[in-house]
């Protein structure tokens, strides 16, 4: 049963990302050893070899700077996604925060289930109930109000297992990979099934990825002149779902160029990796395999969230690079360095 709610939510919120230039980080990465939180393993060597090759002007695989586009999924790839997509926790917390303005929610599903912390009842609402939850918590307000809500939530909410703010649960080795690529003149983008306006308020500070380099799912918005105080209103209607085949479409729509480097962790990223793999330049496909039940989570083919099944087969078949989280990474989160 739980699978239904997570899968349905997955349709609404899934992820892919691409990098930009944070000058200090670039200088650091150029003068220090790259990827310090990675063990000296095959995945790290493959990344270093690829970047050394395509940035070498003497190499037949040299790629001009303008074509160095890298795209990164977000959920389960740059930050954790268990025990549920963090955006689902946001939606649940939003319902609780808005409940006083909506006395009718006490007797109305799916809100009643959320307010009573009754997950089985919430699951019974199915996809329709979830969409209602999202629209009620993500729509009907202005883009400025929504941004403020996301910032407030991040400043106060804590992850149930780690008791840290959700955006503290980003992967230190992936932050180093973003820095390393930028130091080698890659332009890095997020390409995520997650909500584009849910990621932008913190993508610059946390990842060094500017707001205009975040691609994600979106709802319909409209401009309102509002008597000289213009606002953009978020309507309760889906606009674009940036998952599976939607990822290459989102890449084409937002970025234009085909990436040469793509990084994901689930079957929802497979089409992005296939699209990148079809680049006439030498390209790099990277899958993060969650194998670390102790420090993070271990899941793949049977997971209700971030399922990696077809993608794992195709990666093995095509020789794409797979990160074994447990063996390849010295630390998981930035606070592990402390």
Least separation, in Å, of the C-beta of 79 and a second copy? 19
Query: How many Cα atoms sit within 13 Å of 186 on the Cβ side?
Result: 34
Least separation, in Å, of the C-beta of 119 and a second copy? 33
- CA nearest neighbour of 321 among 76, 46, 79: 46
State which residue, 3 or 21, has the beta carbon closest to a second copy.
Answer: 21
Question: How far is 80 from 77, CA to CA, in rounded Å?
Answer: 7
Q: Which residues pair with 286 in a beta bridge?
A: 263, 321
Q: Which residues pair with 191 in a beta bridge?
A: 16, 215
Least separation, in Å, of the C-beta of 169 and a second copy? 23
State which residue, 193 or 248, has the beta carbon closest to a second copy.
Answer: 248
State which residue, 107 or 223, has the beta carbon closest to a second copy.
Answer: 223
Question: How far is 63 from 55, CA to CA, in rounded Å?
Answer: 6
Least separation, in Å, of the C-beta of 161 and a second copy? 31
Least separation, in Å, of the C-beta of 128 and a second copy? 25
Least separation, in Å, of the C-beta of 211 and a second copy? 3
Cβ pair 128, 7 in contact under 8 A: no
Residue 47's contacts (CB-CB under 8 Å, 6 or more residues apart) are: 35, 177, 180, 284, 286, 321
Query: How many Cα atoms sit within 13 Å of 310 on the Cβ side?
Result: 8
State which residue, 36 or 230, has the beta carbon closest to a second copy.
Answer: 230
Query: Which of the 8 DSSP states describes residue 278?
Result: T
Q: Which residues bind a second copy (CB under 8 A)?
A: 66, 143, 187, 189, 196-197, 200, 204, 210-214, 218, 221-223, 225, 229-230, 232, 245-249, 252-257, 271, 274-275, 278
Least separation, in Å, of the C-beta of 125 and a second copy? 29
State which residue, 138 or 247, has the beta carbon closest to a second copy.
Answer: 247
State which residue, 1 or 65, has the beta carbon closest to a second copy.
Answer: 65
- Nearest 5 degrees, angle CA 145-CA 150-CA 151? 95
Question: How many CB atoms neighbour CB 228 within 10 A?
Answer: 5
State which residue, 80 or 87, has the beta carbon closest to a second copy.
Answer: 87
């Amino acid at each position: 049963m739980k699978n239904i709610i997570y899968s349905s939510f997955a349709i609404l919120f899934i992820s892919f990302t691409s990098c930009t230039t944070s000058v200090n980080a670039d200088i650091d990465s150029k003068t220090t050893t790259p990827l310090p939180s990675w063990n000296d393993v095959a995945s790290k060597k493959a990344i270093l070899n690829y970047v050394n090759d395509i940035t070498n002007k003497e190499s037949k695989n040299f790629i001009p700077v303008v074509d160095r586009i890298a795209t990164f999924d977000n959920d389960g790839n740059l930050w954790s996604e268990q025990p549920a997509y963090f955006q689902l926790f946001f939606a649940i917390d939003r319902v609780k925060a808005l409940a006083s303005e909506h006395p009718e929610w006490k007797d109305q599903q799916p809100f009643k289930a959320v307010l009573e912390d009754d997950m089985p009842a919430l699951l019974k609402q199915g996809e329709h109930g979830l969409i209602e939850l999202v629209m009620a918590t993500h729509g009907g307000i202005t883009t400025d109000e929504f941004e403020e809500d996301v910032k407030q939530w991040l400043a106060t909410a804590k992850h149930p297992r780690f008791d840290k703010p959700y955006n503290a649960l980003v992967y230190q080795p992936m932050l180093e990979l973003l820095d390393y690529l930028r130091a080698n003149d890659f332009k890095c983008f997020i390409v995520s099934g997650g909500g584009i306006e849910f990621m932008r308020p913190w993508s610059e500070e946390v990842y060094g990825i500017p707001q205009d380099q975040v691609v994600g799912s979106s709802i319909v918005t409209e401009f309102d002149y509002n008597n000289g105080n213009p606002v953009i209103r978020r309507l309760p209607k889906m606009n674009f779902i940036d998952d599976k085949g939607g990822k290459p479409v989102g890449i084409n729509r937002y970025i234009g160029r085909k990436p040469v480097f793509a990084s994901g962790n689930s079957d929802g990223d497979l089409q992005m990796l296939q699209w990148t793999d079809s680049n006439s330049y030498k390209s790099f496909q990277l899958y993060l395999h969650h194998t670390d039940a102790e420090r993070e989570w271990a899941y793949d083919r049977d997971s209700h969230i971030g399922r990696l099944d077809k993608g794992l087969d195709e990666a093995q078949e095509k020789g794409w690079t797979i990160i074994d989280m447990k063996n390849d990474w010295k630390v998981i989160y930035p606070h592990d360095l402390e």
